[in-house]
Amino acid sequence: DGGITQSPKYLFRKEGQNVTLSCEQNLNHDAMYWYRQDPGQGLRLIYYSQIVNDFQKGDIAEGYSVSREKKESFPLTVTSAQKNPTAFYLCASSVAPNYGYTFGSGTRLTVV
Amino acid sequence: EDKVVQSPLSLVVHEGDTVTLNCSYEVTNFRSLLWYKQEKKAPTFLFMLTSSGIEKKSGRLSSILDKKELFSILNITATQTGDSAIYLCAVSRLSDKLVFGAGTILRVKS
Protein backbone atom coordinates (compact mmCIF):
# COMPACT_ATOMS: atom_id res chain seq x y z
CA ASP A 1 0.00 0.00 0.00
CA GLY A 2 1.21 3.48 -0.78
CA GLY A 3 1.64 5.94 2.03
CA ILE A 4 3.91 7.94 4.26
CA THR A 5 5.79 6.40 7.15
CA GLN A 6 7.14 8.44 10.01
CA SER A 7 9.40 7.01 12.64
CA PRO A 8 9.67 6.78 15.51
CA LYS A 9 6.17 7.43 16.83
CA TYR A 10 7.49 8.63 20.18
CA LEU A 11 10.89 10.12 20.88
CA PHE A 12 12.51 11.40 24.02
CA ARG A 13 15.53 13.65 23.90
CA LYS A 14 17.74 15.27 26.46
CA GLU A 15 18.33 18.98 26.21
CA GLY A 16 21.34 19.80 24.09
CA GLN A 17 21.05 16.76 21.84
CA ASN A 18 20.24 16.72 18.16
CA VAL A 19 17.63 14.24 16.97
CA THR A 20 16.51 13.16 13.49
CA LEU A 21 12.94 12.30 12.58
CA SER A 22 12.39 10.02 9.63
CA CYS A 23 9.83 10.48 6.85
CA GLU A 24 9.56 8.06 3.93
CA GLN A 25 6.93 7.96 1.19
CA ASN A 26 6.28 5.50 -1.63
CA LEU A 27 3.64 7.58 -3.39
CA ASN A 28 6.06 8.95 -5.96
CA HIS A 29 5.19 12.46 -4.78
CA ASP A 30 7.54 15.28 -5.69
CA ALA A 31 6.68 17.62 -2.82
CA MET A 32 7.27 16.91 0.87
CA TYR A 33 6.67 18.99 3.99
CA TRP A 34 7.37 19.11 7.70
CA TYR A 35 4.90 20.66 10.11
CA ARG A 36 4.93 21.23 13.81
CA GLN A 37 1.73 21.08 15.86
CA ASP A 38 1.48 22.30 19.43
CA PRO A 39 -1.47 21.47 21.73
CA GLY A 40 -4.65 23.18 20.60
CA GLN A 41 -2.93 24.77 17.64
CA GLY A 42 -2.90 24.27 13.91
CA LEU A 43 -0.01 23.26 11.70
CA ARG A 44 3.02 25.46 11.33
CA LEU A 45 5.33 24.84 8.38
CA ILE A 46 8.98 24.12 9.21
CA TYR A 47 10.52 23.18 5.85
CA TYR A 48 9.32 21.97 2.50
CA SER A 49 10.83 20.49 -0.62
CA GLN A 50 9.35 20.55 -4.08
CA ILE A 51 12.06 18.50 -5.74
CA VAL A 52 15.06 16.35 -4.88
CA ASN A 53 18.14 18.23 -3.67
CA ASP A 54 16.15 21.40 -3.07
CA PHE A 55 14.23 22.66 -0.05
CA GLN A 56 12.94 25.93 1.37
CA LYS A 57 12.40 27.31 4.84
CA GLY A 58 8.88 27.54 6.14
CA ASP A 59 7.55 29.86 8.81
CA ILE A 60 9.45 28.40 11.78
CA ALA A 61 12.67 26.95 10.37
CA GLU A 62 15.03 28.20 13.09
CA GLY A 63 16.59 25.34 15.00
CA TYR A 64 15.71 22.74 12.36
CA SER A 65 17.47 21.30 9.32
CA VAL A 66 16.44 18.96 6.50
CA SER A 67 17.85 17.13 3.50
CA ARG A 68 16.26 15.74 0.36
CA GLU A 69 18.79 13.40 -1.22
CA LYS A 70 16.14 10.97 -2.45
CA LYS A 71 12.62 11.54 -3.68
CA GLU A 72 11.24 9.11 -1.11
CA SER A 73 12.92 10.54 1.96
CA PHE A 74 12.79 13.89 3.77
CA PRO A 75 14.38 13.60 7.24
CA LEU A 76 14.09 16.42 9.76
CA THR A 77 16.80 17.15 12.32
CA VAL A 78 15.80 19.01 15.46
CA THR A 79 18.96 20.69 16.67
CA SER A 80 19.94 21.90 20.11
CA ALA A 81 19.33 25.44 18.83
CA GLN A 82 15.57 24.82 18.83
CA LYS A 83 14.44 26.31 22.15
CA ASN A 84 11.06 24.61 22.48
CA PRO A 85 11.31 21.33 20.58
CA THR A 86 8.62 19.40 22.48
CA ALA A 87 5.78 19.03 19.97
CA PHE A 88 4.00 16.76 17.55
CA TYR A 89 5.73 16.65 14.16
CA LEU A 90 3.85 15.78 10.99
CA CYS A 91 5.32 14.96 7.61
CA ALA A 92 3.24 15.27 4.44
CA SER A 93 3.64 14.82 0.73
CA SER A 94 1.75 15.86 -2.37
CA VAL A 95 1.87 15.29 -6.11
CA ALA A 96 2.45 19.01 -6.56
CA PRO A 97 2.66 21.93 -4.11
CA ASN A 98 -0.89 23.11 -4.66
CA TYR A 99 -2.59 19.73 -4.34
CA GLY A 100 -4.00 18.11 -1.24
CA TYR A 101 -1.56 16.52 1.13
CA THR A 102 -1.18 12.97 2.40
CA PHE A 103 0.02 12.95 5.99
CA GLY A 104 2.12 10.56 7.99
CA SER A 105 1.05 9.46 11.47
CA GLY A 106 3.40 11.84 13.19
CA THR A 107 6.22 11.74 15.71
CA ARG A 108 5.71 13.04 19.23
CA LEU A 109 8.99 14.50 20.48
CA THR A 110 9.49 15.19 24.16
CA VAL A 111 12.56 16.91 25.52
CA VAL A 112 13.44 15.83 29.05
CA GLU B 1 0.15 38.25 4.27
CA ASP B 2 -1.91 35.19 3.40
CA LYS B 3 -4.03 33.87 6.26
CA VAL B 4 -6.71 31.33 7.06
CA VAL B 5 -8.90 31.89 10.12
CA GLN B 6 -11.09 29.22 11.64
CA SER B 7 -13.88 29.67 14.15
CA PRO B 8 -14.77 28.71 16.73
CA LEU B 9 -11.44 27.54 18.12
CA SER B 10 -13.22 24.90 20.19
CA LEU B 11 -16.72 23.59 20.55
CA VAL B 12 -18.50 21.13 22.85
CA VAL B 13 -21.83 19.65 21.77
CA HIS B 14 -24.04 16.70 22.65
CA GLU B 15 -24.62 13.71 20.45
CA GLY B 16 -27.30 14.41 17.87
CA ASP B 17 -26.55 18.14 17.64
CA THR B 18 -25.72 19.82 14.34
CA VAL B 19 -22.53 21.88 14.19
CA THR B 20 -21.18 24.42 11.73
CA LEU B 21 -17.47 25.13 11.52
CA ASN B 22 -16.24 28.26 9.79
CA CYS B 23 -13.19 29.05 7.72
CA SER B 24 -12.38 32.44 6.23
CA TYR B 25 -9.35 33.21 4.13
CA GLU B 26 -7.32 35.95 2.56
CA VAL B 27 -4.85 34.51 0.09
CA THR B 28 -3.45 35.52 -3.25
CA ASN B 29 -3.88 33.25 -6.26
CA PHE B 30 -6.51 31.05 -4.62
CA ARG B 31 -6.87 27.59 -6.13
CA SER B 32 -8.91 25.47 -3.70
CA LEU B 33 -9.95 25.05 -0.08
CA LEU B 34 -9.53 21.79 1.75
CA TRP B 35 -10.95 20.34 4.98
CA TYR B 36 -9.15 17.74 7.05
CA LYS B 37 -10.14 15.77 10.15
CA GLN B 38 -7.45 14.99 12.72
CA GLU B 39 -8.38 12.53 15.45
CA LYS B 40 -5.19 11.45 17.15
CA LYS B 41 -2.43 11.55 14.61
CA ALA B 42 -2.50 11.99 10.84
CA PRO B 43 -5.04 14.45 9.41
CA THR B 44 -7.34 12.71 6.96
CA PHE B 45 -8.80 14.37 3.91
CA LEU B 46 -12.50 15.31 3.92
CA PHE B 47 -13.26 17.72 1.08
CA MET B 48 -11.66 19.82 -1.60
CA LEU B 49 -13.69 22.80 -2.80
CA THR B 50 -12.84 24.82 -5.87
CA SER B 51 -16.14 26.30 -7.05
CA SER B 52 -18.54 28.60 -5.23
CA GLY B 53 -21.98 27.43 -4.24
CA ILE B 54 -21.52 23.73 -4.95
CA GLU B 55 -22.11 21.67 -1.84
CA LYS B 56 -20.00 18.60 -1.29
CA LYS B 57 -21.45 15.85 0.88
CA SER B 58 -20.15 12.73 2.51
CA GLY B 59 -22.61 11.05 4.84
CA ARG B 60 -23.43 13.46 7.66
CA LEU B 61 -20.73 15.91 6.60
CA SER B 62 -21.14 18.62 4.02
CA SER B 63 -19.21 21.68 2.99
CA ILE B 64 -19.64 24.68 0.74
CA LEU B 65 -17.42 27.48 -0.50
CA ASP B 66 -18.21 31.14 -1.11
CA LYS B 67 -15.43 32.65 -3.19
CA LYS B 68 -17.01 36.09 -3.19
CA GLU B 69 -17.12 36.36 0.59
CA LEU B 70 -13.95 34.25 1.00
CA PHE B 71 -15.22 31.65 3.40
CA SER B 72 -16.28 28.06 3.74
CA ILE B 73 -18.40 26.15 6.21
CA LEU B 74 -18.27 22.54 7.28
CA ASN B 75 -21.54 21.12 8.59
CA ILE B 76 -21.89 17.97 10.63
CA THR B 77 -25.43 16.76 11.31
CA ALA B 78 -26.52 14.26 13.97
CA THR B 79 -23.10 14.39 15.59
CA GLN B 80 -21.59 11.26 17.15
CA THR B 81 -18.77 10.84 19.64
CA GLY B 82 -16.61 9.62 16.77
CA ASP B 83 -16.82 13.08 15.25
CA SER B 84 -14.69 14.42 18.10
CA ALA B 85 -11.51 15.69 16.46
CA ILE B 86 -9.62 18.73 15.29
CA TYR B 87 -10.98 20.01 11.99
CA LEU B 88 -8.40 21.77 9.86
CA CYS B 89 -9.09 24.13 7.00
CA ALA B 90 -6.37 24.78 4.42
CA VAL B 91 -6.16 26.88 1.27
CA SER B 92 -4.06 25.99 -1.72
CA ARG B 93 -2.62 28.66 -3.95
CA LEU B 94 -1.52 28.35 -7.54
CA SER B 95 1.90 26.74 -7.66
CA ASP B 96 2.47 27.03 -3.94
CA LYS B 97 2.09 25.19 -0.66
CA LEU B 98 -1.05 24.97 1.46
CA VAL B 99 -1.81 27.54 4.15
CA PHE B 100 -3.49 26.04 7.22
CA GLY B 101 -5.80 27.57 9.77
CA ALA B 102 -5.37 26.96 13.49
CA GLY B 103 -8.12 24.33 13.54
CA THR B 104 -11.39 23.86 15.43
CA ILE B 105 -11.39 21.38 18.30
CA LEU B 106 -14.76 19.61 18.36
CA ARG B 107 -15.80 17.49 21.30
CA VAL B 108 -19.04 15.52 21.13
CA LYS B 109 -20.38 14.37 24.49
CA SER B 110 -22.54 11.28 24.81
Mutate to test the interface with B, among A6, A51, A101, A108 (most CBs of B within 10 A): A101
How far off is chain B from A49, nearest CA to CA, in Å?
10
How far off is chain A from B43, nearest CA to CA, in Å?
6
Check A100 against B92: CB less than 8 A apart. Answer: yes
- Which residue in chain A has the smallest CA separation from B41? A105
Split at pLDDT 50, 70, 90, the class of B99 is: confident
Split at pLDDT 50, 70, 90, the class of A1 is: low
For the beta carbon of residue B14, count every other beta carbon within 10 angstroms. Answer: 10
Quick: pLDDT tens for B89-98: 999 887 677 8
Q: Is the model's pLDDT at A34 over the cut of 70?
A: yes
Q: Give the rounded percent of residues in chain A with a pLDDT score beyond 70.
A: 96
Q: Output the average pLDDT for chain B.
A: 93
Q: Is the model's pLDDT at B38 over the cut of 80?
A: yes
Tell me, what's the pLDDT at A98? 67
- Which residue in chain B has the smallest CA separation from A40? B105
Quick: pLDDT tens for A8-28: 999 999 988 999 999 999 999
Quick: pLDDT tens for B45-63: 999 999 899 999 999 999 9
